[in-house]
Structure formats: structure tokens, C-alpha cells
Amino acid sequence: MRVSERGQITIPKRLRERFGMNHNVEVEITPTERGLLLTKKTNAAHPVDRVYGILGKDALGVGVSVDDYIEELRGR
């Protein structure tokens, strides 16, 4: 591969297909001791972020705090 005058490179088709680097996929370039590391960015959300706030403000009942709920679960 060669770097073009504008700093562009062409990733061979077999490597793009192998690593799922299709049209408009964003990549990150990270400097390392051995050179540059090219990695595909992912849009995957952390599992906690996907469910955060799913129950809503009054999911436990009006006026029930999380501490009250935990105490009830523990049987105290």
C-alpha cells in the first residue's frame, strides 16, 4: 500500500470484507511503538447504558426510595 498525496490509503478488498470495513465505517488510528494501529469504531452501547432509566421515576411507587425497596427485599 502507498499513502497518496492527500494522505489516503486503500485497504485491499479482501481485508475490508474480512474485518467488516464497509462503506462509511468509521475507524480510529492509534499510534503505537510499532507504528499505527487501525481499528474499526463500534457503536455498541454498554449494557448498563442500554437499560439505565428504563423503569422511570416512580417505578417503585410514589414516595418509595431505593433504600426502602432494598430493605423490603431483604425482609428487614
Q: Give CA torsion, residues 15, 41, 39, 48, to 10 deg.
A: -120
3-class DSSP state of 42:
coil
Asked, for residue 3, whether it belongs to a domain, the answer is no
Q: Provide the CA 18 distance to its chain's centre, in angstroms.
A: 21
Asked, for residue 66, whether it belongs to a domain, the answer is yes
> What letter represents residue 18's amino acid?
R
Over residues 17-45, the mean pLDDT reads 87
Confidence of residue 57 (pLDDT cuts 50, 70, 90): low
Asked, for residue 6, whether it belongs to a domain, the answer is no
Asked, for residue 33, whether it belongs to a domain, the answer is yes
Question: Domain limits at 57?
Answer: 13-74
Residue range 29-38, pLDDT digits in tens: 999 999 999 9
Over residues 30-53, the mean pLDDT reads 83
**29, 36 Cβ separation under 8 angstroms:** yes
Domain count, the chain: 1
Confidence of residue 67 (pLDDT cuts 50, 70, 90): confident
